A and B are shown apart, each in its own frame.
Chain A
């Protein structure tokens, strides 16, 4: 199953969910009806009598519909509420769990190492670098949250930070990335929502029971009867709610356990190293604090952890994660059964490459790419699709060397909001319109940013072309820390810099689109797209625009471009697409086309991306410009493509 199928499956309601929901609702309605009948019998006869004949006398259908309407509404409200609060995004979930945002300019060696590992993995897979949270918990555990790859966050506990070595940490992070790519967060969000609706009934009953403490004083018989009625209702609701929750948890645990084996296997594939993740699991097994979390809210999010976060009395039934030894055995079949007792490690700061050494590094990378030992430029259309939402160790190495090829000063600058702005302004500088841009910045941007930018200019010139988008991606988590007024000002300056000469270049468009789409979503200026279109016909014109543009960018000759377009058309399997000529295209059209393509259902997206790849590869080679555009468009459609595509073995 590839990325798209996984995302699609996660979006659709799975059989389990529908079944759970219907069973739970029918069960709850019938239990409540019986309870109400019992209360009616009691209020009329004064005896508690749940025999069928007694209940039947009170039975009427209007009551059943009333109860049904009430319960459905209740569950619905509860579910919607939870769904909405969890779908606010990964950051909301991380904070609900008590997470502390790790500052990207942190000086703590453990935190630095964590940020580096996450950066590498993110850049290798082509997603925006996620924000990272730390939970102050002893146990070794981690989680991922967020509905789309580009809005995800990663969290780890203090125990993970201090007791795992780099290799093991990498295994854990790879496991969490796989949860992101497999759409597990979305799958489970519906489950949590429904479960919460059901649990709400139980909580209401519990509150009623508690309120009895204050009513218990009344002595007269009428008061006594009222107390009894409230008690029956309260007890009934509590039992009903918790029974529903019990079954819900059970089903949730079953779904979740399957996903964990998949995530472990993916982690091994991503890092091509089974020692890392197996070592982390062994350390959990050998650690007295295990993987447990103390946060009271931990249970709700249990499916997204790296290992079992909360215990329960019926462990095997409710465990959201398979037993440790099973997991280790399936990674390392020849495991000797020994756990590792983890010690707090002395973390050495990741060696930083700078100065001359760095120049060699970036040269080495460029040589490797030019010499073809890293297979850029060879885009096999199917391989492009296979590499979306998957990582392999070669890409992690490439990502490491891309990061190393970024001058240290630039990397430093991306770490805090002040410098991150300067980096973005710097990426937008264009020799042809430098004077206009300079006066724009002097008028509208912070004067001090100009000073910083001035110091970064030399480094920006040294930046390899391939590292431009990764550098941009590294600024995004930092820029999310701006305040809204600051962001709005920054956004204005960016727009002004781009349109300084009334002409938007393609590379400027790529920066603007990637940056603004994501940050606008973060600051609530843009709603995330909802998948609406289930047929390609609905986006015919948009597909024409995107494909024609790619064909024209990649092939300067009009004839070639038309042939490339035809190749893309053939790949998409739709004969009715027409080429849009160069004069009729503009980037505003591309923007609105992308807004609409974003609303495609997941399974249709690879067809568009394949067609784009076919367009680019029509003449057997791809330019970096073409690939950058492909990556940018795919990223806007929430389909991350690695910066350099490698040949699959």
Chain B
């Protein structure tokens, strides 16, 4: 066996290793953003659980604002449905887009509820309501932070996938579509954050 043949095999071997490494990296990056989505999911679920309670308390005070309350509930249900669709495959751009839109609508509905509530100081002063709105705010902050982590991970995956030479193999390895960023319309905070003093 002559030298050139050995060199040939070495080159083949190295190229093979390189391609396998690309494959593994793609899988690892995909796992990373999926894991990040799980964190958002827990917090969003928490948020969807809080909303009916909030509406329940508000009902007692807002007798004439049925429409606003119904809008909140139906937006909440739509968002929860969007979440469960995204849950099965956070890499699916359509599901993530759907969730983004549903969340946007929910934020809008909550925003108008907030405006309505301004007119009812009794409701704003309700002990339970205060607790709930604080919890809503914290949960929103947690969602925002987890969403940033998810989007960073998605960006890393997309950038890696589109760079050369990965872009040649990505589609063959089942990484055809770019993952979608989870963009919420800058959800107006449900209520102003309490002032800090320590």
Using a CB–CB cutoff of 8 Å, the interface residues on chain A facing chain B are 62-63, 66-67, 69-70, 73-74, 77, 81, 85, 88, 92, 95-96, 100-101, 103, 105-107, 416-419, 434, 438, 446-448, 450-454, 457, 481-486
Residue of A nearest to B17 (CB): A81
B198 is an interface residue with CB less than 8 A from chain A: yes
- Check B148–A486 contact: CB distance below 8 A: yes
Chain B: residues with Cβ within 8 Å of the partner, total of: 40
Report chain A residues within 8 Å CB of B17.
Answer: 77, 81
Whether the Cβ atoms of A452 and B13 lie closer than 8 Å is no
Q: Give the residue name and chain of the B residue nearest to A95 (CB).
A: B31
A103 to B44, CA, bound (A): 13
- Contact pick for B198, options A73, A101, A448, A453, CB 8 Å: A453
Binds A, one of B20-28, B73-81, B173-181: B20-28
Within residues 75 to 117 of chain B, which ones have a CB less than 8 A from any CB in chain A? none
A481→B45 CA distance, assembly (Å): 19
Residues of A within 8 A of B28 (CB): 88, 92, 95
For window 166-198 of B, CB contacts with A under 8 Å fall at 193-194, 196-198
Residue in chain B with minimal CB distance to A480:
B35
- Report yes or no: A103 in contact with B42, Cβ–Cβ below 8 A: yes
Within 8 A of A (CB), among B109-162: 138, 141-142, 145-146, 148-150, 152-153, 156
Given A73-B9, A81-B21, 8 further pairs, Cβ under 8 A: A62-B1, A66-B6, A95-B31, A105-B39, A457-B198, A481-B39, A482-B149, A483-B149
A70 with B9: CB separation less than 8 A: yes
Closest to A80 in B: B17
Known: A105-B39, A107-B42, A416-B43. A74 touches B149 (CB 8 A): no
CA distance A105 to B44 in the complex (A): 12
B57 at the interface (CB under 8 A from A): no
Contact status B42-A417, CB under 8 Å:
no
Question: Can you pick out 18 interface pairs between chain A and chain B where the beta carbons lie within 8 Å of each other?
Answer: A63-B1, A69-B6, A73-B10, A77-B17, A88-B28, A103-B41, A107-B46, A417-B39, A417-B146, A417-B149, A451-B193, A451-B196, A454-B196, A454-B198, A481-B149, A483-B148, A483-B153, A485-B152
Complex Cα spacing A70 to B7, Å:
10
CA distance A624 to B138 in the complex (A): 35
B36 contacts A by Cβ under 8 Å? yes
A74 adjacent to B42 (CB under 8 Å) = no
Question: Is the Cβ of B38 less than 8 Å from the Cβ of A448?
Answer: no
For the complex, give the distance between the alpha carbons of A73 and B11 in Å.
11
Residue of B nearest to A458 (CB): B198
Query: In the bound complex, what is the Cα–Cα distance between A450 and B195 (angstroms)?
Result: 10
With A107-B45, A418-B141 known to touch, is A483 a contact of B39 (CB < 8 Å)?
no
Residues of A within 8 A of B193 (CB): 447-448, 451
Contacts of A483 in B (CB 8 A): 36, 148-150, 152-153, 156
Q: Which applies to chain A's interface (DSSP): helix, strand, loop or mixed?
A: helix
Q: Which residues of A contact B148 (CB under 8 A)?
A: 483, 486
A450–B196 Cα distance when bound, in Å, is: 7
Interface of B, helix, strand, loop or mixed by DSSP: helix
Residue of A74, A85, A92, A95 touching B13 (CB-CB under 8 A): A74
Q: How far is the CA of A417 from the CA of B145 in the complex (A)?
A: 8
Indicate if the CB atoms of A486 and B149 lie closer than 8 Å: yes
CB proximity of B183 to chain A, nearest CB, Å: 16
- Contacts of B197 on A, CB cut-off 8 Å? 454
A218 to B5, CA, bound (A): 26
Distance in Å: Cβ of B104 to nearest Cβ of chain A: 21
A28 to chain B, nearest CB (A): 15
Across the A-B interface, the 3 shortest Cβ-Cβ residue pairs? A66-B1, A483-B152, A483-B149
Across the interface, B43 reaches (CB within 8 A) one of A74, A100, A105, namely A105
Which B residues are CB-close (under 8 A) to A95?
A: 27-28, 31
The residue that B39 contacts in the complex, of A416, A434, A451, with Cβ under 8 A, is A416
List of B residues within 8 angstroms of A452 by Cβ: 138, 141
Is A481 within 8 A of B36, CB to CB? yes
**How close is A593's CB to chain B, nearest CB, in angstroms?**
34
A453 to B196 CA separation, bound complex (whole angstroms): 9
The reply to whether A446 and B145 form a contact with Cβ atoms under 8 Å apart is yes
Q: Which residue of B lies closest to A483 (CB)?
A: B152
Q: How far is the CA of A419 from the CA of B38 in the complex (A)?
A: 16
Instruction: Give min CB distance, A488 to chain B, whole Å.
Output: 11
* A287 to B166 alpha-carbon distance, docked (Å): 45
A96 contacts which chain B residues (CB < 8 A)?
27
Does the CB pair A418–B146 fall under 8 Å? yes
- By a CB distance below 8 angstroms, the chain B residues around A451 are 138, 141, 193-194, 196
Known: A66-B6, A77-B17. A481 touches B35 (CB 8 A): yes
Chain A positions within 8 Å of B1 at CB level: 62-63, 66-67, 70
B residues within 8 A CB of A103? Answer: 38-39, 41-42
A81 cross-chain contacts in B, Cβ below 8 A: 17, 20-21
Q: Which residue of B lies closest to A100 (CB)?
A: B38
For A82, give the chain B residue with the smallest CB separation: B20
Inter-subunit contact A77/B153 (CB<8 Å):
no
> Which residues from A are CB-within-8-Å of B46?
107
Bound complex: CA A452 to CA B134 (Å): 10
Tell me, in angstroms, the Cα distance from A66 to B8 when the chains sit together.
13
A373 to B191, CA, bound (A): 50
Taken together as a complex, chains A and B put the C-alpha atoms of A67 and B2 apart, in Å, by 10
Task: State whether A106 and B42 are in contact (beta carbons under 8 Å apart), knowing that A448-B141, A450-B196, A486-B148 are contacts in the complex.
Answer: yes
Kindly state the separation between the CA atoms of A139 and B10 in the bound complex, as whole angstroms. 42
Which residues of chain B are within 8 angstroms of A447 by Cβ–Cβ distance? 193
Residue of B nearest to A102 (CB): B38
Residues of B within 8 A of A417 (CB): 39, 145-146, 149
Contacting residue for A105 out of B9, B42, B156, CB 8 A: B42
Contacts of A450 in B (CB 8 A): 196
Q: Complex Cα distance A453/B38, Å?
A: 24
Q: Is the CB of B198 within 8 A of A438?
A: yes
